Structure 1
Amino acid sequence: MQDPKLRYNSRMQTNTDIQTPKRDTLTISQLNRQAKRLLEGNFPSVWIVGEISNLSRPSSGHWYFSLKDSNAQVRCAMFRTSNARLRFQADSGQQVMARAKLSLYEARGDYQLIVEHMELAGDGLLARQFDELKHRLFQEGLFDQQHKQILPTLPRHIAIVTSPTGAAIHDILTVLGRRFPSIPVTIFPTPVQGQAAAAGIAKAISLVNQLAASGSLPVDVILVSRGGGSLEDLWAFNEEVVARAISQSDLPVVSAVGHEVDVTIADFVADHRAPTPSAGAELLSPDRQEILANFTGYEQALIRRMLQQLESSRQRLHWQQTRLRHPGSRLQEHSQRLDELELRLKNSWRNRCQQQKLGIDLIQSRLQQQTPAHLTRQLTVRYQNLYRRLEQQVAKQMTHRRQKLDNTMHLLDAVSPLATLDRGYAIVADAKGQVITNAATATVGQSIHTKLAKGAIKSTVVSIEQDLT
C-alpha cells in the first residue's frame, strides 16, 4: 500500500509542478515535552516569594495553587510527599517563601512550579518564630505560675524601661500623677523598636536589678512598656534575650506592651501582664482617692473600737466595784468557814473511830469462832445432828423394807399351791412323786398319793375315766 504522504506529495507535484522543500513538523505533545526538558534542564531550584491564591486540596493529597505578587502570578503544584512535611497550615492570602523547580504541564502546556519546600515569609515567618520560641520557653518552665512574683501593694520606687520619647511614657506618667503622684519613678531609656532594641531592653532590666541589689536605687518593681504597633514593631519584646532577662529578674516585672489585643513573649514571662501602658501604671499605683477613703474608714473604725474599749472597761470597773467588800466581812466569812470545817473534821474523826471499833469487834468475833472449844462444840452439835438423821434414815428404811416384805408375802401366797389347796383342790402324784395331770397316764391298781390342804391320802386307782372333750 502506498504511503498517503507520498501520494499527497505526488499530487502536489502533479498539480503545481513545483518542488517544495521537506519540513520538520512536531506534534503538540512533542513540543511540550521538549519545552519541559528545556526548562527543567536549564533552571535549577529557585527560591521565590509570593502570596498564595486559589489553593486547592483534592482527595489525592496534592496541592495546587498560584503564587502572585502585584504584577504577575505563576501556577504551582506541591505534591503530597512534600506538603506533609510543612510545619504550618497553608491557606490563601499567606505570604510564603518557596523552593521550587521550573516545569511545564504537558497536557495543557501550562508553565508551572513544582514546589518542594515552603515556609512563611514576612508576618507569617515572624508568627512561626513566635510560636517556636513560645513553645520552647514553655517547655523550660519560664511561664509557670510558681515562678511569678507578687507585686508590692504600694511601691516605694518604680523603674520604667521604655523609650523616653514614645507615647507610652507620657501615658504612664499621666496615670501615675493622677492616681498617686508621690511614688518616685526612674526612667531607664532604651530603644523599643529595631535591631538593637531587644539587647537594650535586656540590658536595662539587668541594670535595674544591679542598682536595686547594691542599694543605690530603692526600686521594688519594674514596668517594661511601649505603645502599640505591628508585629514587626513589637518584635523586640518577642526576642529570647528579653524573655531571659525578665525571667532572671529578682524584682517583679510588669509587661505593658502594645494594645489590649497585642500579646508578646514578654507578657508570658513577666510576673504580671497589663493590656496597655496606662493599665500597667494603674496596676502598680494605688488610687489616691480610694486610699483616702480607706483611711477615713479606718479612722472611723478605730474611733468606734476605742469607744467600745472604753465602754467595756467602764463596765468591768463597775463590776469589780460591786464585788469589792469590807475586809471585816471577808474575815467573818473565813471564821465561819473555819468553824464549819472544824465541825466537819470532828464528825469525820468520830465516824472514823466508830468504824475502826466496829472493825475490831468483827475481828474479835471471828477470832472467837476459831478457838478449839468453839470448834469442838460446833463439831459435837454437827455429830449429834448427823447421828439423829442416821437413826431416822435407818428407821425409815426398816419400815420401808418391812412393808415391801409384807407385799411380797401376800403376792407369794396368792400364787402358792397351798393357797389353791385351801380352796378345795388337791395334788395327785405317783409313787415317785411325779404330778399326774392326765388320767390317761395312770393305770388301774397304781398307787397314787393325794396332797390336800391339810394332810395327804394314799390310794389305789380302781378305774380311769378319760375326758372325751
Structure 2
Amino acid sequence: MTAAPKPAAPAVLTVSQLTAQVRGTIEAKFLSVWVAGEVSNFTRASSGHWYFTLKDATAQIKTVAFRGINLRLRFDPRDGMEVIARGRLTVYDPRGEYQFIVEELQPKGVGAAELALRQLKEKLLAKGYFDPKRKRPLPRPPRRVALVASATGAAVRDMIEVFAQRWPFTELVVRPARVQGEGAAQDISLAVRQLNWLHRNNKLAFDAIVLGRGGGSAEDLWAFNEELVADAIYNSQVPVVSAVGHEIDVTVADLVADHRAETPTAAVVALTPDRRELVAALGALRGRMAEAAERRLKSARQRLDQFATRPAFRRPLQRVHDLEQRLDDTAARLARAARVRLSQATQKLAEVSARLETLSPLQVLARGYSLTHTTDGRLVRDPRGLRPGDLLVTRVTAGVIRSLVTEARSTEDDPPPQGAG
C-alpha cells in the first residue's frame, strides 16, 4: 500500500501582506463612490489636511480630505453638517483601518457657494466688519475720486458721464480691474490697497474710492463676496463706495463699504450735488435775498420818515438848549447848597472849639496851677522819682521856670499829725 500524500502547508501571510491585499481589493472595488453622511470629530491639521468622520444612524467611516482638495472648496465643514462626498476607499496600513479619501465635497441641501457666503458673513460680522459705527460719511462734493472698474465695461463710462453732468469739478482717477472671473477678487483687492498706498504716502490724495460694475448673475458678482476684498475695504483709509449693479443681491463688499449704492450711477449721485440743481437753488436764493433786501430798505425808509417828523429833527438845537438851561439851574442850586453847608460847618466848628477851650490845660494854668516835667519831657507826678540835682521845667500861665532839685520828699514820708492814734 502506498502512503497518502501529505497535505500542502497553508500559506502564511504577514500582516503587511494581508493589509496590502485587502487594500488592493477595496481600492479596485470602490474606486469612485458617493457617500452621504454627517461630519463628526472634524480636525484641521497644520499641513492643511482635514480629518473627520462621516456617520449616519448606525455606522461611521474615517475620512480624509487632503490640502489640494480643500483649497478648492468654498465652504468649511463643521461638526454636525450634512454633506455629500465623492471619493475612493483605501486602507491605512499603519492602523489597518479602511478610510474614505475625499475628492469632491459639497453641503447637503444647500449649494456650496451659498454656504460659503453664509459662513463668510458670520465670520466678518463677528469681527466687526459690518458695524455701522465704523462707517465714515462721504465727502460732498469730493475733489478727487478713484474709480475701480473694468476698463471696457459700461459702468466706468456711465460714472464718468454722470460726474461730468452733475459735478465736472471732481478729478477722476480710473484704476482698471477685473470685476468677474478668475483672479478678479485679487485684482480688486490689489487696486484698493494700491490707491490707499498713494493716499497714505501723499502721492495722490483721494476723497473716495468707488468699486463699480454693472449687473450680473450671482456667479458674476462673486468676486465682491471674497474675504480678501472685504479685508481691503475694511482696512482702507479712504471711504469706499460699493456700486455693484444688482439691487436684489447684497454682496459682502456692500456690507463692509462705507456706503452702498445700487448702481454705479447711484454712487455718483451719492457723492456729488447736481450742478444744475445747485445753480437753480442759487438763483432762487438770490431772488429771496433781493426780496429781503427790498423789505429791509422799505422798512428803513419808513422809520426814517418817522424820525424826520420828530421835534429833535425839526429843531435839533432845542434839546441842547434845554439841557444847558437845566445845567445852569443845577449849578446855581449846588452853589447855594454849598454856601449853606459851609456856614453850618463853620458854626459847628466854633462850638466845638469853645468846648475844647474849656478843657484845655492852659485854662487850668490860668487859674494858678502849674505843670512840672523833667528835661526829657516826663511829667512829674511823684517826687520819689527825682534826685537832688535834677533839672526841672515848670510851666505856668505866664511862662516857664527852670529849677534845680535840692530835696524830693513824698507826702507819705511826713510825720503823722499830732493826736493821731
Residue 262 of structure 1 aligns to a residue whose secondary structure is coil
- Alignment of 1:136 onto 2:123: yes
| Mapped contact 1:123–1:231 kept (Cα < 8 A) | no
Percent identical = 40
Question: Given the two structures, how large is their TM-score scaled by the length of structure 2?
Answer: 0.53
CA distance in 2, matches of 1:87, 1:307: 79
Which among 102, 107, 127 is matched to residue 120 of structure 1? Answer: 107
Aligned partner of residue 278 in structure 2, secondary structure: helix
State how far apart, in whole Å, the 2-side matches of 1:182 and 1:81 are.
Answer: 70
Residues of 1 paired with 2:226 and 2:233: CA distance?
11
CA distance in 2, matches of 1:317, 1:80: 105
CA deviation string 1:293-338 (max 9, x = no partner):
2121122122223324434554565566555565642332222322
Find the counterpart in structure 2 of residue 79 from structure 1: 57
Determine whether 1:287 maps to 2:278.
no
Deviates more, 1:306-315 or 1:147-156: 306-315
Matched to 1:78, the amino acid is D
Kindly indicate whether residue 162 of structure 2 is the aligned counterpart of residue 162 of structure 1: no
Mapping of residues 244-263 of structure 1, within 5 Å: 244-263=231-250
- Per the TM alignment, residue 348 of structure 1 is displaced from its structure 2 partner at its CA by 7.2
Corresponding residue number in structure 2 for 1:438:
none
Residue identity in the other structure for 1:333: D
Q: Distance in 2 between matches of 1:344 and 1:303?
A: 58
Cα deviation code 1:344-384 (max 9, x no counterpart): 6579779989999xx9xxxxxxxxxxxxxxxxxxxxxxxxx
For residue 240 of structure 1, the aligned residue among 200, 220, 227 is 227
Distance 1:252 1:185, change over 3 A: same
Superposition map of 1:417-436 within 5 A: none
- What's the offset of the Cα at 1:262? 1.6
Instruction: Give, in whole Å, the separation in 1 of the partners of 2:245 and 2:80.
Output: 26
**Cα 1:337–1:259, aligned 2, differ >3 Å: closer, same or farther?**
same
| Aligned 1:258-407 pairs, distance under 5 A | 258-315=245-302, 318=305, 322=310, 323-324=312-313, 328-342=317-331, 345=334
Deviation at 1:160, TM superposition (A): 0.8
What do the CA deviations read for 1:105-158 (whole angstroms, capped 9, x no partner)?
xxxxxxxx9xxxx85279722222222222222222222222212112222232
Contact 2:143–2:169 (8 Å) recurs in 1: no
What letter corresponds to residue 334 of structure 1 in structure 2?
A: L
Q: 1:207 aligns with which of 168, 186, 194?
A: 194
Letter in 1 for 2:325: Q
Give 1:226's aligned residue.
213
Q: Within 2, Cα distance between the matches of 1:318 and 1:80?
A: 107
CA distance in 1 between partners of 2:35 and 2:341 (Å)? 120
Equivalent position SS for 2:198: helix
Q: 1:125 to 1:47 in 2, by over 3 A?
A: farther
Question: Which structure shows the bigger proportion of residues in helix conformation?
Answer: 1
Match of residue 13 from structure 2? none
Counterparts in 2 of 1:350 and 1:198: CA distance versus 1, 3 Å? same
Q: How many angstroms apart in 2 are the aligned matches of 1:350 and 1:275?
A: 97
Structure 1 residues 248 and 316, CA, compared in 2 at 3 Å: closer, same or farther? farther
Q: Secondary structure at the match of 1:160?
A: strand
Describe the shift of the 1:81–1:314 C-alpha distance in structure 2 as closer, same or farther (beyond 3 A). Answer: farther
* Structure 2 CA distance for aligned equivalents of residues 99 and 354 of structure 1: 132
Pairwise CA distance, 1:174? 4.2
Q: Answer whether contact 1:222 1:251 (CA < 8 A) is retained.
A: yes
Q: Measure, in 1, the Cα distance between the counterparts of 2:314 and 2:275.
A: 57
How many pairs are equivalent? 291
User: What is the DSSP-based 3-state SS (H/G/I as helix, E as strand, rest coil) of the residue aligned with 2:111?
Assistant: helix
Separation of aligned partners in 2, 1:345 and 1:147:
78
CA distance in 2, matches of 1:346, 1:47: 130
Residues 249/319 of structure 1: CA separation in 2 closer, same or farther (3 Å cut) = farther
Preserved contact between residue 45 and residue 99 of structure 1 (Cα < 8 Å): no
Shift of the 355–198 alpha-carbon distance from structure 1 to 2, 3 Å rule, reads farther
Q: Residue 246 of structure 1 aligns to which amino acid in structure 2?
A: I
Q: Secondary structure at the match of 2:147?
A: strand
The equivalent residue for 2:185 is 198
Q: Please tell me whether residue 48 in structure 1 is matched to residue 34 in structure 2.
A: yes
Partner of 1:20: none
Partner of 1:186: 173
Shift in Å, 1:187: 1.5
Aligned-pair distance for 1:270? 0.6
> How far apart, CA to CA, are the structure 1 residues paired with 2:180 and 2:245?
12
Q: For each residue in 1:192-245, what CA deviation from the matched residue of structure 2 results, as whole angstroms up to 9, or x when unmatched?
A: 123321221122122223334555545322110122233332222122221122
Seen in structure 2, the aligned counterparts of structure 1 residues 246 and 296 have a Cα distance that, compared at 3 Å, is same
SS in 2 for 1:142: coil
Q: Deviation digits for residues 42-80 of structure 1, max 9, x if unmatched?
A: 478987389x9xxxxxxxxxxxxxxxxxxxxxxx99339
C-alpha contact 1:238 1:265 (8 A) present in aligned 2: yes
Distance in 1, matches of 2:58 and 2:326, equals 111
Unmatched 5+ stretches in structure 1? 1-37, 53-75, 91-95, 103-112, 360-469
| Whole-Å separation in 1 of the counterparts to 2:222 and 2:80 | 20
- Give, in whole Å, the separation in 1 of the partners of 2:313 and 2:180: 83
Q: Deviations over 1:28-55 (max 9, x none)?
A: xxxxxxxxxx9xx9478987389x9xxx
Cα distance, 1:49–1:351 mapped onto 2, change above 3 Å: farther
**Post-superposition shift, 1:167?**
3.2
RMSD value over aligned CA atoms? 4.9
Runs (5+) with no aligned partner, structure 2: 1-21, 38-53, 61-76, 90-99, 349-421
